[in-house]
A and B are shown apart, each in its own frame.
Chain A
Amino acid sequence: MAILVYLEQAAGKVKSTSLEAVSFAKALTQKTGEGEVVALALGTMDPSELAKVGKAGASKVFHASDPRLTEGVIQAHASAVAQAFKSLGAKTLVLAKSSLGDAVSARLAIKLDAALVSNVLELPDLSSGYVVKRSIYTGKAFAFTPIAKENKILAIKKNAIELSKEGADALVESFGVSLTDADFASKITSTERASGQILLPEADVVVSGGRGMKGPENWGMLEELASTLGAATGCSKPVSDIGWRPHHEHVGQTGVKVAPSLYVAVGISGAIQHLAGVNSSKCIVVINKDPEAPFFKAADYGIVGDAFEVIPKLTAALKAQ
């Protein structure tokens, strides 16, 4: 028996969140005795790139190279994953929670008659049954969900497990899927993607700015800090509402939920709706000129001061070491 992992790609590379899903599945096989981890890659990809998925814990990669699958056509991806799951005789599917992963896994829950748990935070507890811990109320609480169904789908949250890099190269096998016109009835006509940047939902370090940054012309300073840290940039909702920054950078209850190791918040007051998007961060640094800003209550480290003074100094101190 095997656990199947659904891999997502961005520009021909397996997403880092999908590699985390592979490591999660590997650790899960060690708990449940489900044997090996088989990953499924869809669309045009370089097989040598796919072999590297082995490092994260997969022993095999099924590659369905139909170029129509390179883009994330939801219905088609769900059909392809269902076929791989059935042909493997798998009982568990693991994937990373994402825009595409959510849409695909929900359809699979019905196709595979599987119990789907989303926002999974850690490996299931098998001491009495199969109990999955997940995040609910936008990170304000956790729920323990016992699963009785034989078929299971776990959509894991970022940082649910440490990415493993120890494994050997995986065996890449081509995998034939039969897809119908109905699978491609809807069409992706074009895509706009920020290129060459670290994607916010997947970033390990995030530098975010709020209304305290005063205007879009001051973002250069945050971008420099971000590039020094190897970080993605984010912002508060009003900042994207006014159009200082693009919508996909807005963090919080109604925006992106991030889970980085380090979240640096500059000139953000720390409204509860903003905190809902960052409360899974390992370490939070807040820079705000108002010592009463509520964000300090949610922070690990704080500097009370003017961003325009502190940020250049911080960037310089980071560069100096």
Chain B
Amino acid sequence: MKILVCITHVPDTTSKIQFTSNNTKLDTAGVQFIIGPYDDYALARAVELRDQTGGTLTAVNVGEAETEPTLRKALAIGADDAIRVNSFPKDSYFVAKQLAHIAKEGSYDLILMGRESIDFNGGMVHGMVGELLGIPSFSPVMKLDVEGKRVTMAREIEGGKEYVEAQLPLIAGCQEPIAEWKIPNMRGIMSARTKPLTVVQPVSLETQAEAASFQLPAAKGSVKLIDKDQVGELVRLLKVEAKVL
């Protein structure tokens, strides 16, 4: 089986988000970048499936040169090779076009992504790539097993889950508990240095919904503390001041 896993390069979940250049760019000063947490689940499951069924695992990222350490980390965790599409990921549509092209060229059987990127939070790239390739797409997937061409999945829905059966090739946007995150070991880190990482140019420059500027939410006022023996006062405030009861 040929597996493609799509990796984002995003600020660590504890990062303070700030902008520069008149609110048009993310301020990357002091920000640590990681593999998107959902992409990490996709990668972990992809490594398990590759080890189980044989075949190959390719990691791909649409991003500029600074994302290479993130792709190298995916190689250290277990991808066999990596592709970087050399461009800033302008919007979901732009990214989907690049990924669909890579997926088509490599005729992958299974394409795993994260449920959503934690920068755009679109949860859209998988569906767009699926439609561009004319193959089914599922998200958010919390369990995925492959037997020959048959794939069984559990997909999270509001307040529960549904079990789905489909055929390869397909795309799944992954989330926990699909697999346990894998931490690269020393051997993985050493071998990642020499695994192939190919850089390609974007196939299309078209965008549809690129952000022009950013804004931070208004700062929260300070908390109003109520004595633990005065819970009635809390109820009163929620009613007359916050007007939420």
Contacts and interface: CB of A to CB of B under 8 A. Distances in A.
A and B assemble together: yes
Contacts of A137: 11, 17, 118-119, 121
20 contacts: A74-B136, A106-B126, A109-B124, A110-B96, A110-B132, A116-B124, A117-B209, A136-B214, A138-B118, A142-B216, A143-B215, A144-B215, A147-B209, A186-B164, A194-B159, A194-B160, A199-B159, A296-B223, A321-B235, A321-B239
A235 to B, nearest CB: 14
A317 B122 CA distance: 41
* Residue picked from A10, A279, A303, A305, most chain B C-beta under 10 Å: A303
Interface residues of A, number: 90
Q: Interface SS of chain B: helix, strand, loop or mixed?
A: mixed
B29 interface: no
B225 A188 contact: no
Contacts of A283: 238, 242, 244
User: Top 4 A-B pairs ranked by shortest CB distance?
Assistant: A106-B127, A305-B228, A186-B166, A193-B160
Q: How large is the interface on B (under 10, 10 to 19, 20 to 34, 35 or more residues)?
A: 35 or more
A304 B225 contact: yes
Interface of A: 10, 71-72, 74-75, 78, 98-100, 102-107, 109-111, 114-119, 131-132, 135-147, 149, 185-194, 197, 199-202, 205, 229, 247-248, 253-254, 261-262, 272-273, 276, 279, 282-283, 285-286, 296-306, 309-310, 313-314, 317-318, 320-321
A231 B223 CA distance: 22
Contacts of B123: 102-103, 106, 118
Contacts of B152: 189
Contacts of B127: 74, 102-107, 109
B13 interface: yes
A99 B124 contact: no
A217 B159 CA distance: 21
A304 B116 CA distance: 36
Given A111-B131, A136-B211, A285-B238, A191 B228 contact: no
Contacts of B147: none
Contact of B223 (A111, A186, A279, A301): A301
